Amino acid sequence: MLKLFQSPDSCARAAHLALEEVGADYEAVQMSLSGGDQRRPEYLAINPKARVPALVTDKGILTETPAILTYIAQTHPDSPLRLPDDPFAFAEIQSFNLYLCATLHVAHAHKLRGSRWADDPAAIAEIRRKVPEAVASCFEMIETRLFRGPWVMGETFTICDPYLFVFAEWMEGDGVDPARFPKVLDHRTRMGKRPAVARVNASRVS
């Protein structure tokens, strides 16, 4: 059985959704990031990066959302998240997810994690002030250049879709008006109606 260490308010939600989409046999362990669960010795023994998600498999432990999403899809080839056989099509999926990971997520992280980049309170405040602009710029790229529709990669539902959904749910909190990005907003609405999302929401521990 797979074991996913996750927090429902983090990017780990994408991996949780993917596990539900493929019907995996798994256990979800909810972490309290605000409570410091990710820094406890027992979790650091699993993931010394002190981040979520972490996926425990029978072959070892995986971290980083794009890698975990790919593993879930590859190990469930008959599921809705089946990866394409064509290497270029697969690379396009990886390209999109890595943009979310390396660019959009980093822009979002400046809101609460400014101390990663600066020590001066004034500098941290300036970093935080730029978050709506930086995040909106990323969604502009997605809306106008990267999103094909009706799903991220076109007609086929892929591992890009639950991952984008997580960040789209954060737009208001990042000071971004979702109405500026109608394709992304429509995608978020349709994703929110999927049974996998309902099941993940129902599993959340208060």
Q: What are phi and psi of 141, to 5 degrees?
A: -60, -45
- Statement to judge: residues 181 and 114 lie in one domain: yes
- Statement to judge: residues 59 and 101 lie in one domain: no
Mean pLDDT value across the chain: 97
Residue 20: give its domain's CATH number. Answer: 3.40.30.10
Q: What are phi and psi of 105, to 5 degrees?
A: -65, -35
What pLDDT digit, counting tens, does each position of 47-87 carry?
999 999 999 999 999 999 999 999 999 999 999 999 999 99
Residue 107: give its domain's CATH number. Answer: 1.20.1050.10
- Indicate if the pLDDT at residue 116 is higher than 80: yes
Determine the pLDDT at residue 205.
Answer: 81
- Going by C-alpha positions, the residue among 132, 126, 120 that lies closest to residue 177 is 132
- Statement to judge: residues 71 and 110 lie in one domain: no
Does the pTM of the predicted model rise above 0.95?
A: yes
Contact 181, 143 (CB under 8 A): yes
- Indicate if the pLDDT at residue 114 is higher than 90: no
- Statement to judge: residues 181 and 91 lie in one domain: yes
Q: Which residue has the tokens 């409570």?
A: 35
- Statement to judge: residues 95 and 173 lie in one domain: yes
Burial of 91: CB neighbours in 10 Å, binned 0-12, 13-18, 19+ = exposed
- Statement to judge: residues 95 and 171 lie in one domain: yes
- Indicate if the pLDDT at residue 206 is higher than 90: no
What pLDDT digit, counting tens, does each position of 173-199 carry?
999 999 999 999 999 999 999 999 999
Chain centroid to CA 105: 8
Q: What is the mean pLDDT of residues 156-170?
A: 98
| Percent of the chain residues past pLDDT 90, beyond the cut | 95
- Statement to judge: residues 148 and 58 lie in one domain: no
What pLDDT digit, counting tens, does each position of 138-151 carry?
999 999 999 999 99
Determine the pLDDT at residue 94.
Answer: 98
- Statement to judge: residues 139 and 171 lie in one domain: yes
- Statement to judge: residues 120 and 181 lie in one domain: yes
Band of residue 23 on the pLDDT scale cut at 50, 70, 90: very high
- Statement to judge: residues 72 and 123 lie in one domain: no
Name the DSSP class of 119.
-
The tally of domains found in the chain comes to: 2
- Statement to judge: residues 64 and 119 lie in one domain: no
By residue range, what is the domain housing residue 28? 2-80+197-202
Provide the token pair at 111: 């809101």
- Statement to judge: residues 152 and 181 lie in one domain: yes
Q: How far apart, in Å, are the Cα atoms of 189 and each of 153, 165, 192, 193, 197?
A: 17, 9, 5, 7, 11
Band of residue 31 on the pLDDT scale cut at 50, 70, 90: very high
Name the DSSP class of 82.
P
Q: What is the mean pLDDT of residues 110-135?
A: 93
Dihedral over Cα of 151, 153, 156, 157: its sign: negative
